Amino acid sequence: MNYLKARLTLLILLFPALMAAQQFAITHGPYLQNISEQEVTIIWTTNQDALSWVELAPAGDDSFYARERERFFETAHGTKNTGTLHRITLHDLEPGTSYRYRIFSRQVIARQSHKVFYGDVVATDVFRRQPLSFTTLDHEKKSIFFRVVNDIHAQNDHLRQLLPRDMKKNTDLVIFNGDMISLLNSENEIFTGFMDTAVELFASEVPMFLARGNHETRGEASPRLYSYFPTNNGHFYYSFRHGPVQFLVLDSGEDKPDSDIEYGDLAHYDAYREEERSWIEEQVNSKEFRQAPYRVVVMHIPPAGSSWHGTLDVAARFLPVLNRADIDLMLCGHTHNYQFIEKGAAAGVDFPVLINDDENCLDITADGHAITVVVKGLTGNRITTHKFRRK
């Protein structure tokens, strides 16, 4: 026991020198997830284990240093969590309300029995720049503007071309509609593939919602994807309301039969989609869904236009439910080809489907008159416009 204590003491004494080549730092983020009218989750990573928290302040012109700000921690069973992935959920917020925030991480050097040895503290800057901020969702908001991109496949240059840098001024939210990467063998690829660029452009202050694509299901680290994109119900299929739009975000799963050799005997998507179908049935019959002025479905694989298994299975399981739900618009990707399918133009699809390609951004406004979709290319050029009048 004395030997172990001596080794630990030596490690603690030598730790600054050992870690000199890797200074404690925030490595990715922060970014917003799972935002609603009452809460938001703020996520970031550090290069070493840390105890982390968020300080929250109301919107205002006063200094963030005006007074002590309340601290929020990630806890489990009464204990504050430590690690390199930090997910802090702020509760009891007000709808349609702006808040300022700051993140902190305190390096954990070592633990000895009940003792914890701490090192440096890192935080976002509120001295030389304005604090980061966000605005909660609000179902009473009369008009919203959001953007949709998909099938980026880690082409960060495309993401920078499609999304402007001033999005905080006019964008309520952004939807990534699947296949933002090609393969997820390391969790770091989430960030190098698209999220570092998303944080650079908007994601620290404008909420982003992910619809999982078939490529996000692939790779050794794919089972851990949810840890970085938590939702309000614990699934990759979920719903939320902002302004006049009720969003139904669906998970279309993989595009080939479960037995395909590419999946290494691990795929179980037919049964998964059947579970999801039951959930969709509950959602479209809910009061919240029925009373929304608009109902928009977001799903990576479209339910028409292909004879591949994923398309056929999605159509067989989901369409009988969705066709009875008075859907105003479905937004898809996957094919890398732009296509607009009018209501009734494809067999078995009783609502309009817009399939976006990998080099377009959808700029969408929903107000008291219509849903207006402007399709823009890599240079910001307007390709076409669709308008869906309020019923």
Average pLDDT, the chain: 94
Regarding whether 158 and 49 lie in a shared domain, the answer is no
Contact 238, 231 (CB under 8 A): yes
Residue type, 59: A
Higher pLDDT, 15 or 385: 385
**What CATH number did the domain enclosing 35 receive?**
2.60.40.10
Among 135, 166, 199, where does a domain finish? 135
- Phi/psi of residue 283, each to 5°? -65, -50
Regarding whether 323 and 376 lie in a shared domain, the answer is yes
Higher pLDDT, 333 or 14: 333
Regarding whether 111 and 152 lie in a shared domain, the answer is no
How far is residue 354's CA from residue 304's CA, in Å, rounded to a whole number? 11
Q: Beta strand 40-58 with 70-73: parallel, antiparallel or unpaired? A: antiparallel
Regarding whether 131 and 170 lie in a shared domain, the answer is no
pLDDT at 165 over 60: yes
- CB atoms near residue 246 (< 10 Å): 24
Q: Beta strand 353-355 with 98-112: parallel, antiparallel or unpaired? A: unpaired
Domain count, the chain: 2
Regarding whether 210 and 131 lie in a shared domain, the answer is no
Regarding whether 168 and 129 lie in a shared domain, the answer is no
Confidence of residue 114 (pLDDT cuts 50, 70, 90): confident
- The residue assigned the tokens 């390609």 is 357
How far is residue 359's CA from residue 377's CA, in Å, rounded to a whole number? 6
How far is residue 289's CA from residue 297's CA, in Å, rounded to a whole number? 11
Mean pLDDT for the stretch of residues 261-279: 96
Nearest CA among 300, 369, 291, 368 for reference residue 332: 300
**Per-residue b/e over 96-133, b at no fewer than 16 CB within 10 Å?**
eeebbbbbbbbbbbeeeeeeeeebeebebebeeeebbe
How far is residue 289's CA from residue 93's CA, in Å, rounded to a whole number? 23
| Structural domain span for residue 77 | 2-135
Regarding whether 194 and 86 lie in a shared domain, the answer is no
Regarding whether 197 and 118 lie in a shared domain, the answer is no
**What CATH number did the domain enclosing 188 receive?**
3.60.21.10
As a whole-number percent, the residues of the chain with pLDDT over 90 amount to: 89
Confidence of residue 127 (pLDDT cuts 50, 70, 90): confident
Residue type, 325: A
Mean pLDDT for the stretch of residues 305-312: 96
Nearest CA among 286, 211, 289 for reference residue 249: 211
Regarding whether 301 and 258 lie in a shared domain, the answer is yes
Regarding whether 189 and 71 lie in a shared domain, the answer is no
Among 86, 103, 135, where does a domain finish? 135
The 3-state DSSP composition of the chain as helix, strand, coil percent (nearest 5) reads: 25, 35, 40
Give tens-digit pLDDT for 171-191: 999 999 999 999 999 999 999
Confidence of residue 166 (pLDDT cuts 50, 70, 90): confident
Positive or negative CA dihedral for 382, 384, 386, 387?
positive
How far is residue 214's CA from residue 236's CA, in Å, rounded to a whole number? 12
- Of the CA atoms within 13 Å of residue 357, those in its CB half-sphere come to 12
Regarding whether 307 and 181 lie in a shared domain, the answer is yes
Structure tokens at 312: 């056929």
Among 86, 104, 135, where does a domain finish? 135
Regarding whether 318 and 280 lie in a shared domain, the answer is yes
* The pLDDT value given to residue 128: 83
* The pLDDT value given to residue 341: 96
How far is residue 238's CA from residue 368's CA, in Å, rounded to a whole number? 25
